[in-house]
Amino acid sequence: MKLNITDTALTALQDKVSDYHIFALILDDGSNKYSDIGGTCSIGDSYQIVALDQVDPDFNEQLSTNSNDQFYSTKNEFTFWGNGLTLDYTANNFVLSDDSGVLDGAVLLKIGTNQNPNVNVQNQSARR
């Protein structure tokens, strides 16, 4: 799967988590250890970027990107994405889209560790 990361998204990642170069682009719907959402109907329309210090074996499908950073996901997420997958940063939000349109207009950015997988880097309560 190919992910295009815009220059503004690359700059925002650098500004917010410059010490991290491994990321998981994954669902934020309560289906994984990095998601604290539960009991909602967010399957397939809420995403998060988790900054990691090493590759998490649970998220080991590497995305092809135009960045020197490494992005990983799972085949489960691939079922929700189409051609033209793009990560942008606009109006203080990461935006994930594909050729069909915006998939999530407020993608959360978190730092993930085994000790505390849900440290929010930015406070974003608004969802599209």
Residue 37: predicted pLDDT: 64
pLDDT score at 121: 53
Q: Where are the domains of the chain?
A: 2-120
DSSP annotation of 45 reads T
pLDDT at res. 46: 87
Q: CA-to-CA distance for 9 and 14, rounded, in angstroms? A: 9
pLDDT in tens, the chain (128 residues): 999 999 999 999 999 999 999 999 998 876 778 876 665 555 556 899 999 999 999 999 999 999 999 999 999 899 999 999 999 999 999 999 999 999 999 999 999 865 445 555 543 333 33
| pLDDT for the residue numbered 74 | 93
Choosing among 3.40.50.1460, 3.40.50.740, 2.60.300.12, 1.20.1530.20, the CATH entry for 2-120 is 2.60.300.12
Backbone angles phi, psi at 21, to 5 degrees: -135, 10
Helix boundaries (H) for the chain: 7-16, 75-78
